[in-house]
Amino acid sequence: MDDTVIRIGHGSGGRLTRELIHEIFSNRFGNIFLDNLSDSAIIPTSERNLAFTTDSYVIDPIFFPGGDIGKLAVCGTVNDLCVSGAMPKYMSAGFILEEGLPIDHLARIVESMASEAKKAGILIVTGDTKVVKRGQCDKIFINTSGIGYVHPDRVHISNGSSILPGDKIIISGSMGDHAIAILSARENLTLEEEILSDAASLNSLTEEILKVPSEIRFMRDITRGGLGTILAEVCEKKTFGIEINENDILVNRSVKAICELYGFDPLYLANEGKMLIIVQKTAAEKIVNELKKNSLGKNARIIGEITEKHQGRAVMKSIIGGKRIIDMLSGEMLPRIC
């Protein structure tokens, strides 16, 4: 393995991505906002806190069951903002287009962005378009950056600084649908039940649960790197651990089947419309009930808790009773998943 060049795993969202950020970016750009390593920078201003986030989308194929690169580019940015406790307000759209891209494909993608932005209540206020020659990019890449406002009481939500042993861990639905929908489109798989990407803007969900009088400690959308990577990150170098039950993690039947076939672990599959919530123990049931009222959270469930045991580690109790340490994703199972 050549350590001097960029490898596919550097874009996985897992361990290699973390190392690249640490070794190349953080020490050079280093400032308190970036060091936080959360999805959005939370910038305290004299009036109110600004949340600011960016993501590039390079997904292949650009149209897939349940969505397209445009929908994804809006949902991804909306979700990065709303899981930070922010109200998504404004976004940018930067396009890199390959010469020869059919203009009606571009129009469909833009249409899809506009429709998702309207649904999520975010305004696309600024944009940019670049074109490169055939073979210098793959059809279309999109960058979206987003701005939101965060109430001062919610600033801890993006960094998890208030997490305590005893807190419950909730996920809002099944794992892996987005990744497997992309794989099935890419490989032309014929499945018994078609799997649709779960791509969705989660701000309706976060707004509802933030209204519940309770202590939400942390939220994160479960994307690249999957549930496993987030759990490992949350307790890394902390004085608490995590324990989850495999039995409580919903994985749809077709997703499970493909995972077995390809040797994938659903814990590390990307989602684009699912979130993890860590909440004060006493409020957990209330939050799950609230999530279930929304179709995006209808399969929400408690999957485990923050523990005093396993300091700095996430541990999963398997269905047959064993225990396994959950590490960050290393390498990359499915490149260009978002």
Residues 111-170 that bind a copy of itself (CB under 8 A): 111, 113-114, 117, 123-133, 135-138, 141, 143, 145, 147
Among 22, 61, 107, 236, binds a copy of itself (CB under 8 A): 107
Minimum gap (Å) between residue 141 Cβ and a copy of itself:
6
Nearer to a copy of itself, 41 or 189 (CB): 41
Residue 94 DSSP one-character state: E
C-alpha Rg value of the chain to the nearest Å? 19
CA 82 vs CA 112, 221, 237, 247: distances in Å: 20, 9, 26, 28
Minimum gap (Å) between residue 146 Cβ and a copy of itself:
9
What residues numbered 73-102 form the site for a copy of itself, per CB under 8 A?
A: 90, 92-102
Minimum gap (Å) between residue 5 Cβ and a copy of itself:
5
Contacts of 118 by beta carbon, 8 Å cutoff, 6+ apart = none
Minimum gap (Å) between residue 292 Cβ and a copy of itself:
32
Query: Does residue 28 interact with a copy of itself by CB under 8 A?
Result: yes
Nearer to a copy of itself, 57 or 218 (CB): 57
Minimum gap (Å) between residue 3 Cβ and a copy of itself:
8
DSSP string spanning 227-248? HHHHHHHHHTT-S-EEEEEGGG
Secondary element (H or E) of residue 221:
strand 216-221
Cα angle: 246, vertex 160, 158; to 5 degrees:
105
- 239 to 278: interface string for a copy of itself, x by CB under 8 A: ----------------------------------------
CA 86 vs CA 61, 67, 195, 222, 337: distances in Å: 30, 24, 30, 17, 25
Among 17, 197, 203, 307, binds a copy of itself (CB under 8 A): 17
